[in-house]
Structures are given as C-alpha cells and as structure tokens.
Structure 1
Amino acid sequence: MSMHTFWNPRTETLDRPGLERLQAAKLRRVVAWAADRSPFYRQRLADAGVTPADLHTVADVTALPLLTRDEWMAAQTASPPYGTLPAIEAHQAVRVHTTSGTTGREPLRALDTRKDWAWAAEMWCYGLWGAGVRPADTAYVAFGYGSFIGFWGLHYGLEKIGALVVPGGAQDTANRVRQIVDFGATVVASTPTYALRLAEEARALGVDLPSSTVDKVILSGEPAGSIPATKQLIEEQWGARAFDTAGMTEVSTIFMFECAYQPGGAHIIEDHLLEEVLEPGGDTPVGYGELGERVVTSFGRSAVPLLRYRTSDLVIREPGSRCACGRIFDLYSGGVRGRVDDMKLVRGTNVYPRAVESIVRGHPEISEFQLRISREGTRDEITLRVEAGRADDGLRKRLLDELAQAHEGLRFRVEFCEPGGLPRFELKARRLVDDRPEMVPAHV
C-alpha cells in the first residue's frame, strides 16, 4: 500500500496497541487541561473524583462522567453567551460558531482558537486526502458561510492540501451551477440534499453535469451521504464519485470519512478522537456490529474541551480491517444511521427518516419529498408527499408497498405535489414535520 494513500501515514497505519497508547496519553493531557482551565469540568471532575493520573488506558475513559447537550445548554444559559465549558476567555478566541438550529432548539455557541482551527483543518485533510483530493484539484464549496460551522473546516482543509478553492457563498443555486462549470471544478462539497438540488438546477439550465470536470463530490451534514440509494442517485446525476463525511459543531470538525476504497462505511479519525458506542440512552458499551449511540472525547479542541459527549448519533462500529485501504482506524458501517431523537412513534410503529429516504431515493423520478405526521381525531396519520412530475398510480402503489414492508405493515398515505411545491434546502434538510397537537413540533 502506497504511503501516498494516507494523509498521516504514521498514525493511520499504527497497530492497535500503539494507537491505544497514543489515545491514552492524549486523554490524560486533555483531561488535565480541562480540569485546570474549564470551570465546568473542574467541578464535574472533582465531583466524580477523577484525576488525569487515574487514566492509564483508553478503557479508563469510562471513569469520566458523560456529558449531554442539555447540560451544555444549561451551562450556556446560566452564564451567557458561552457558558462555563470554555477553557479560555472569549477574547482569546478568534471565531465563534453555532449549531445549525434545524432541530428547533436554541443553538450551541462554541469558541475556537487559532490552534483549534488549524486542528479542524487537519481533520478535514484526513477525509479529503482519503477521498483522493490533491493539490491539482479545483474545489467548489457550495455553502453559505454563515455562523453555522458547516464547511468552514473543509475550506481550510482544502487550502492546507493546496487545492484551489472557490467559495460558493451568498448566491442562488443557478449561479453556483454556472460557477462550478465556469471554474472547471473537479471537486464539489455540499450536503447530500443540496447535491441533488444542484443537479436538479443543472438539468433546468441545460447543463450536463456528468460531462463536466467534476469527479468527486464530498458530502457532509446529513446521514443521507451513507444511504446507498441516495449516494447512487448523486453519483448518477453528477457522473462523479460521492464520499461521505460527518462532523459536528461540538467537535468543530469531522470525526469520520469515507476513503477511496468505499467499504460501505466511514473511518473514525481515531488518533484525534476517542469514540465509544453505548446502548442508546444508557451507559453500557455495545460490541462490534451492534447499533448504539456515539459518545465522543475530542483530543484537539482546546477552547471548549469535550469529554464523553453523548451525540445522539446512532452508529454500528466495525473493525478497520474490513477495509482494504490499510488504515487501522475502525469504521462506522453505513455512516451515521440516524439519531436517537429521530424516531417517531406512529400507531405503535417506529418510523425513522433514514428508512423512508432509502425507499424514496430508490425512485429517481422523485425530485423531492416530505414526511408529515398529523392527528385526525384520535388517530395518527403519516403522509409521504413527493414531487414526481405528475401523479402516478403505479408509483404510488410501489411506495405504499415498500413503506408498509419496511414499517411492520404501517399504512402511509402518498400525496403528489406540483413541481417546486416542496421546500428546497441548502444546508441540513428538514423533511419530517410532526404536526400532532399535544407534541412539541419537531423538524429534523
């Protein structure tokens, strides 16, 4: 295996004992930093009776208390605007970013230093290089460049690699399509939803994307990047290979990336992040091949340390040896499978947005969709609204059968909408709308 395959061959090809020794050393260091400088963690670690000296191996991470988003938010609310988690004063930071707010909750606010941003760019370099991005590439970043952390780190990672970066902010989709073609972009970065939206607009403009210079599409921001039907649709509409990544504001960068071998999963960046998979909502570890909730400890972000943070992401971890690329890093099979809070209960049946999308994307004639849950009298109803050019009874029947088969016989309604009748999204899509009156409406 050529060392040119890896961004950091020294750590990406370490043996497992060597990797775990490195992780243990970094764990002790970040816990010492947090205990010394973060008011939140100083109290939290003292209450738990844990010191850095107690952390001899990676297994000792379980001695640290788990952190939830609600706890972070409570600390932020009690001491606005940034809370008590930061290990620095606000004037020592160079940037503030927020979560996207797509779940309808107040966004988290996170500070970063110059060192943090250099680290965030380095993490993106692992993923970009692993997907085959090189200095000769021209990369178009289809992103609004607002306070949402989004693709900021990717932008700086591309610059660090030496690629030519075209920032695609502050314009409409048609102009972005024209710029992708005009600049001869070879790489495009966007959410999976927006990659499909760009392709839709290109068709309307008469632009033949499969004949363009684009040969790689870097996806992030939504679990859809690892849904096989969605990825296949993106690759067909772009005539390019699509690569999934996933990150989060709380970490400030990506935690996993899909390499050029595309083994059906994404590598965890294990030399910079310590990831656990626990029973959803609990604290019991689950083994390889079992669905569980991601819990992350970040070694690289110094402004806001992150120790054992419950992400609500659902994942299935598998050994890195499943991939032929030669990396030691373990995989999340199928990427992020969804979120603990994504599941909706409809007439006693669990409904996951990812499962619905995997069905919808198997029908390329559908350009956009929305899932709506309502209550009629005492009965819950669930409706799949689709744009497919025209009402098609054959398509309706196929969707109804596939949805029922995937959801224990639950009967959906299928409604056809006029072209352009459903919302379009540039960042994270919000395709599930729960209108049941006694519940707080959730948009995910």
Structure 2
Amino acid sequence: MAESPYWNPKTEALARDDLRALQFAKLRRVVEWAETRSPFYRRTWAAAGFTADQLKSWDDYQRIPFLTRDEWMANQAELPPYGDLPVTGAAGAIRMHTTSGTSGRTPLRALDSRKDWFWAAEMWCYALWGIGIRPADVGYLAFGYGSFIGFWGLHNGLEKIGALTVPGGAQTTTQRVRQIIDFGCTVVATTPTYAFRMAQEARELGVDLPSSAVRTVVLSGEPAGMIPETKALIEAEWGAKAFDTAGMTEISTIFMFEPADQPGGCHIIEDHFIEKVYDPETLEELPYGEWGERVTTSFGRSIIPLIKYRTADAVVKVPHTTAANGRTFDLYEGGILGRVDDMKLVRGTNVYPRAVEAIVRGFPIEEFQIRIEKVEMRDEVFLTVEPAPSLDDGAWADVEGRLQTELADAHEGLRFIIERAAPNSLPRFELKAKRLQDLR
C-alpha cells in the first residue's frame, strides 16, 4: 500500500461541504466552552449582546465580537499575570510561554495543558509530514529554547513522527553549524534570517553546506519564508529545499504550512482552525483574492480558547483548487505577507518591507536595515546594506546603482538613500528579525 502524503488523510482531503460542517460543529463547541469557562469571554460577550445559543448557522459567526491583542494585553495588565481569558489558572497548566517581544511591548503570557501540547505537536505533524519528513530523518532545531514559544511545538512534532530530534539550544552559531554536520542532520528548523546567519558562519568555517546531509530547511517566524528571492537564496546556500510555515504564541502552534509540491502558498489547517480575511478598516469580510487582515478561531487549545482573534497578519486567501496536491484546505497565497501596519507612507508612496527584501535578496548583500526619518521637513527612506565581503569598491558601485534603480522602479520613483555598512556591523537575529525603523 502506497504511503499517504497526508498526515491525516481523513480530513486533509475531506469534501468542502463536509469540512465546513466539521468546522461549524467545532465552532459551536468551543464557543460554548468559552462562554461557560472563561470569565473574560462571558463578560465581554454579554456586554456585546452575544450568547453561545445565538450560533445556529454560519451567518451567526458575524455576531461573535472580535478579540484583539490590545484587549488581551490590557486584561493581563489588570489581572496579572495571565488575566481571566484562560479557563483555568496556572494550577491547570504544565507550561507557560510568551511572545517574542520584538515589538518592544510587554510579552503576552500564555498557558498550556498537557492536552494542549499534544494538539500543538499534532499541528506540526501536518506540516512536517506534508513537507516529506519521515521517521528516518534527523532534525536539528536552531533555536534558543527560552520562554518564547518558537519551535517548541516543532520539537514535539518531530518526536511524534519518530524522527531523531536534536535540540540546538544554548549554542553559539559555530557550535550549531558543527553539530548539524557532525550529527548528519537531514532537516534544519530555523527562521529565514538565521538560516542566512548559519550559512555565513559555515562559509567562514570552511563548511560546505550544500554537500552536507541537510535536504530540508523548515522556516518559520518571519514572512520572508515565502518571498521567492529569499527562499531561492536560502536553498542555494544550503543545497536543500526550504519550506514555509507560520504559527503564533496566541494559538501555541502553527496554522498553515507549505507542502512538498510548493504550490506558491501555504495550506491552512482548516479542520482545526477557521481563518477568515477582513478589511482592517471596515471589518467587512473579504472574498478570495483580496488583501486583508487574518482573523482566526482555534479549536485545539483548551486552556485559552481563541475565538475571532484579529492577528494583524496581512494575507490573501485563495481556494484549495489553486494547489494540485488533492488537499481541500484553502491556502494563503504567498504565506503571511507581513503585518497590516507594516506599510509605511513616504511622500505619498507605499513602502512595504517585504517588497524591499525581495529586491535586496537579488544582490550580494549579507544583511540590511530600513530606516525612515524626517530630514529638514522631508520624509526620507534609508537602506543600510552590508555587502558580501567579496564585493570590492568597483563592484559595489555597480550594485549600489542597480539597487537604487530597482527600488525606485518598484516604488513609483521614490529614491532610497543607500548606505554601505562595514562587514558584520548590522545586527543578526536568531528569532524574528526587526529591520524597519520609522523614526519620524
């Protein structure tokens, strides 16, 4: 009997009508659970005039109030440390995790039960198996294993599949590169930014990554994992196929993954999530193909039911027929496109970090930073780049000119001021990269 490409064949190829019926049954159950068990939901829903018994059809989904991160954070500040959105206190949990805090804000604190962690691992199994990872693989997690939730769920997912799992915490980049080689790792999990950092370190160590045993790089944590130029460069550096995934601390795991056939987007794990796209200004639900804000409802995390949560992720949803792998799960075309507030207006022109990165990755540049400042009453956008060490002054002049031209062409003629940084002077990131500063 041929091996299935699906971790869960029963649901990954379920007819859409049956899938929708399954989602609605789970939706009703989680809404009833939240209303009964969570003081936060019971209080806020009552104030909005919503009760669980009003949920009788899909049309009634619109009755459910949105939940925002600011509301959740305010609740935790008012009732520290966890607020009263969870259905139980710390005594009912086995682990606490936080958001990365890269935005400079106080990290969000989240609790999980043993059951929740089993579910989080299961979500990663959808991705890992769909990518093509099997029990014979050796997986390396280039991750610090701190309170940030990061790749904790992936670790458990690898173990659940039966793959040998190597935790790469408390290691320098040099040590991690050597361990990947020494242990014969076939899979490496990392952020896109740190994939470049390890490749740079490997070159300095004289390690030939493309000739190593690594055949798969699992990316997460940054939108860059689905930028074609970034992915192609990572694949060239590692001599391996790179696959994108995305998750969030608020749900404790991933909600989408890029399968082995790489259809240009990531399948949403729709038997465990309801993912809808809304206009972030009008809060009107948007159809397929429209850019908007991702709003999620999660079925699996029992301590923290997450219902109609505004994620601030920018996405474009497309139907499952976009892919030809037989899955009936819809996709996010191009994965996560960034944050809905990532777009910066500079002298009437929209500047998106993702679009800038797509251009920068086409040049021999090791790292970059975007900075927007007001200079003598005029908004200016600076791009500080760290060229590859092999680039001499003459070659740099050519790169600088072409880079400036491509950036202007992509931004309605807006001039980017290019600054050349010294080797290894720009920050490197193990977790989520922060490359944009708006100093106006």
Would the TM-score normalized by the shorter structure come out above 0.5? yes
Alignment partners' CA distance in 2, 1:191 and 1:214 = 16
Equivalent position of 1:254 in the other structure: 254
Greater CA drift, 99-108 or 224-233: 99-108
Please state how far the C-alpha of 1:358 moved relative to its aligned partner.
Answer: 0.5
Q: Which amino acid aligns with 2:362?
A: G
Alignment partners' CA distance in 2, 1:35 and 1:425 = 40
Q: Are 1:386 and 2:385 matched, yes or no?
A: yes
Identity %: 66
Q: How does 1:145-294 map to 2 (within 5 A)?
A: 145-294=145-294
Please state how far the C-alpha of 1:280 moved relative to its aligned partner.
Answer: 2.0
Alignment partners' CA distance in 1, 2:409 and 2:370 = 17
Equivalent position of 2:360 in the other structure: 360
Equivalent position of 1:349 in the other structure: 349
Q: How does 1:13-24 map to 2 (within 5 A)?
A: 13-24=13-24
- Runs of 5+ in structure 2 lacking a partner? none
Residues 368 and 386 in structure 2, CA contact (< 8 A), matched pair in contact too: yes
Greater CA drift, 2-11 or 260-269: 2-11
Equivalent position of 2:12 in the other structure: 12
Aligned residues: 435
Residues 93 and 113 in structure 1, CA contact (< 8 A), matched pair in contact too: yes
Alignment partners' CA distance in 2, 1:10 and 1:3 = 14
Please state how far the C-alpha of 1:2 moved relative to its aligned partner.
Answer: 5.5
Could you tell me which of 409, 412, 434 is aligned with 1:408?
Answer: 412
Alignment partners' CA distance in 1, 2:335 and 2:102 = 20
Equivalent position of 2:435 in the other structure: 431
**TM-score relative to the length of structure 1:** 0.96
Please state how far the C-alpha of 1:59 moved relative to its aligned partner.
Answer: 4.0
Residues 281 and 293 in structure 1, CA contact (< 8 A), matched pair in contact too: no
Q: For residues 317-375 of structure 1, what are the alpha-carbon distances to aligned partners after superposition, in whole Å with 9 as ceiling and x for unaligned?
A: 11111111110000000000111121222222221110110000111x11111111122
Q: Which amino acid aligns with 1:57?
A: S
**TM-score relative to the length of structure 2:** 0.97
- Aligned to 1:356, the other structure's residue is in SS state helix
Change (3 A) 1:374 1:31: same
Please state how far the C-alpha of 1:3 moved relative to its aligned partner.
Answer: 5.7
Alignment partners' CA distance in 2, 1:57 and 1:260 = 35
Q: For residues 271-310 of structure 1, what are the alpha-carbon distances to aligned partners after superposition, in whole Å with 9 as ceiling and x for unaligned?
A: 0000110012332111111111100001011111111000
Residues 24 and 55 in structure 1, CA contact (< 8 A), matched pair in contact too: no
Alignment partners' CA distance in 1, 2:145 and 2:59 = 39
Could you tell me which of 388, 401, 421 is aligned with 1:417?
Answer: 421
Alignment partners' CA distance in 1, 2:183 and 2:398 = 42
Greater CA drift, 42-51 or 133-142: 42-51
- Aligned to 1:400, the other structure's residue is in SS state helix
- Runs of 5+ in structure 1 lacking a partner? 437-444
Please state how far the C-alpha of 1:52 moved relative to its aligned partner.
Answer: 2.9
Provide the aligned C-alpha RMSD in A: 1.2
Q: Which amino acid aligns with 1:373?
A: I
Please state how far the C-alpha of 1:423 moved relative to its aligned partner.
Answer: 0.6
Residues 119 and 301 in structure 1, CA contact (< 8 A), matched pair in contact too: yes
Q: For residues 197-252 of structure 1, what are the alpha-carbon distances to aligned partners after superposition, in whole Å with 9 as ceiling and x for unaligned?
A: 11111011000000000000000000000000000000011000000000001111
Alignment partners' CA distance in 2, 1:71 and 1:7 = 36
Q: For residues 396-417 of structure 1, what are the alpha-carbon distances to aligned partners after superposition, in whole Å with 9 as ceiling and x for unaligned?
A: 1111111111111111111111
Alignment partners' CA distance in 2, 1:142 and 1:385 = 27
Residues 21 and 57 in structure 1, CA contact (< 8 A), matched pair in contact too: no
Q: Which amino acid aligns with 1:68?
A: T
Residues 292 and 340 in structure 2, CA contact (< 8 A), matched pair in contact too: no
Q: Which amino acid aligns with 1:26?
A: K
Residues 373 and 381 in structure 1, CA contact (< 8 A), matched pair in contact too: yes
Alignment partners' CA distance in 2, 1:225 and 1:182 = 26
Alignment partners' CA distance in 2, 1:112 and 1:53 = 27
- Aligned to 1:4, the other structure's residue is in SS state coil
Please state how far the C-alpha of 1:154 moved relative to its aligned partner.
Answer: 0.4
